[in-house]
Structure 1
Amino acid sequence: MKSGGNSIAALVLLESSHAVLAPWHRLSKSALISGASAFDAAHGEDLWQYAAANPSHSKLINDAMACCARVDISAVTNQYPEAFKGISPLVDVGGGDGTALQILVKACLWIHGINFDLTHAVSVAPQCQGIEHVQGNMFEIVPKADAAFLMDTGKVIIAEAVIDEGEEDKNMDVRLALDMVMLVHTEKGKERTIAEWEYVVNAAGFTRFTVKRIQATISVIEAYP
């Protein structure tokens, strides 16, 4: 049901919207000719520029990401709460309307959350005790904290899908579908294997990382300086 706590209705509404379906019809042309994302080929601008100029579509994105957060972040706090032990403050980079942080500060009362996202996303985020909304671009600067939820000290926590080559579980088909969605909607986005995550973490200057697998579509990656 749309009103249920674990409903993915908002995600279905986003993925079935005209703006999101149109890029699928431009994928081959985009990939073979322009090199730009299929979304850009369909709309003449990237996903985030389109959302900034179209508040109704921005709301679709926020609602869809919120429903994903309710499922995924609840799984993290239930199965791996020790990832957040001793952390405050914590920055959610690209946190949208702050749903993920709302779940975290409720489960981990010691956390002060900083919801960091673009202006059009943060401007409509509801006020919530224990959460500070900060406008900005993660490609330019990220607020300092004990953890950045995806520095000189602390760690980066990345809650993302990990593609296990040669391994199968009940969520693998979902991860592969998400990989295709990322291909269509973004210029270079994709879901990554362990080897690809290792490259990203090392290239970002971190010295080590761990991967905690949980019973969900995502895994918890912790990267350390």
Structure 2
Amino acid sequence: MAVDKEVQLHAQAWDHALSYIKPTALDAAVELEIPDILEDHGGPMSLSELSAATGCPREPLYRLMRFLIFHGIFTKSDDCYAQSPLSRLFTRENLGLYMLMQATPATRSPAGLSGEALKTGTPLYLKSIRGEDSWNDPAYGFHMRAFTNAMTAHSRLTAAAIVTNYPTAFDGVRSVVDVGGRHGMAIGRLVEAFPWVRGITFDLPEIVADAPPLKGVDFVGGDMFKSVPKADAVMLMWILHDWSDDKCIEILKKCKEAIPTSTGKVMIVDAIINEEGEGDEFSGARLSLDMIMMATTTQGKERSYKEWVHLLNKAGFSKHSVKNIKTIEFVIDAYP
């Protein structure tokens, strides 16, 4: 038994040493649009068909698919490849665009989590571009396009989770401001599901200037550190994890000023890290997101429940509630 245990530990060590390969291989599959191609085809495809559709030669494609099938991403039967319930989640309508964003140098630097980076507080990737975050990268344009596409797709998924798992989210709410809402994909989905709500997307002027019209949604340009448009509710979807505690408190105070004292609320849609040993299916993914924040920013982080409570108290909120919407984020409703 001792030998078996030693072999098992050795195998685990190899798995950890090579753990970066799986996401890299999955990135390649998403970049080749394999999940989308199989989905659009509507059924299994042979290696030759998949090679023609992707433009990828047969041998490397075969090796890639062999690896991903072993790890349960795709399925294979009668020498044909097919979607699995898991691979469908990597189409571009789901997490595919997010995968592509995470594959950019700004978010997957090999040195991002080096010992030196952890000691100095500056990821080596950011040090190399002399910036505090990845937006200072000379390749900013490419990263920004990937980021925008990924956040658009992800915001739709999160909005859908709110609609399905928090149907009372906007009871008594007639207007809501989506702070940092870019082109309004999240608020547009929410207004569609809750038609009595007037939506306002609030972002930098240069961002909202390019936004296409959306039914039930107004676009307002400005600076969240100066003021936030008035509304019954203010939503911060994946905004605060980019900022330090002090900056978060500033933002939350501005949001609090924008809502009615007696009936308003601020909706924080963000991850909550579990530190008590109990969690759900997304606990590991949330911890991985925190590693990404540590590797790509000097201020951002995912927060535990205690850390969120600290921010809310410092910003002057009197009470709050937490709703599990059965995805990687929670909804924290904060009340004045």
The alignment's TM-score, normalised by the length of structure 1, stands at: 0.88
More displaced, 5-14 or 166-175?
A: 5-14
Matched letter for residue 192 of structure 1: R
Partner of 1:76: 162
Q: Which runs of 5 or more structure 1 residues have no equivalent in the other structure?
A: none
Alignment of 1:149-160 (within 5 A): 149-150=235-236, 151=257, 152-153=259-260, 154-160=264-270
Deviation string 1:100-131 (CA, Å, 9 cap, x unpaired) is 11111111101111111224432332211111
1:192 to 291, 296, 303: 303
Per-residue deviation at 1:20? Answer: 2.6
Tell me the CA shift for residue 92 of structure 1. Answer: 0.7
* Larger-Rg structure: 2
Select 2:281's aligned residue among 170, 173, 180: 170
Question: Does the Cα contact within 8 Å between 2:131 and 2:137 map onto a contact in 1?
Answer: no
Write the distance in 1 (CA, Å) between the matches of 2:137 and 2:212: 18
What residue in structure 1 maps to residue 127 of structure 2? 41
What do residues 150-204 of structure 1 show as CA deviations (whole Å, max 9, x unaligned)?
1351110011111222213211111111111122222221111111111011111
Q: Relative to structure 2, which stretch is displaced further, 132-141 or 200-209?
A: 132-141
Q: State the partner residue of 1:113.
A: 199
The answer to whether the aligner puts 1:32 opposite 2:142 as a matched pair is no
SS of the counterpart of 2:281?
A: coil
Runs of 4+ in 1 over 6 A off after TM superposition: none
| 1:40 aligned partner, one-letter code | L
Matched residue type, 1:188 = Q
User: Aligned pair in 2 of structure 1 residues 37, 105: CA closer, same or farther (>3 Å)?
Assistant: farther
Alignment length (residue pairs):
223
Q: Which runs of 5+ in 2 are unaligned?
A: 1-34, 41-90, 237-256
Instruction: Give the TM-score normalised by the residue count of structure 2.
Output: 0.61
* Higher RCO (CA < 8 A, seq sep 6+): 1
Distance in 1 (alpha carbons) for counterparts of 2:191 and 2:180: 17
Q: CA RMSD for the aligned pairs?
A: 2.4
| Alignment check: 8 A CA contact 2:111 2:123 kept | no
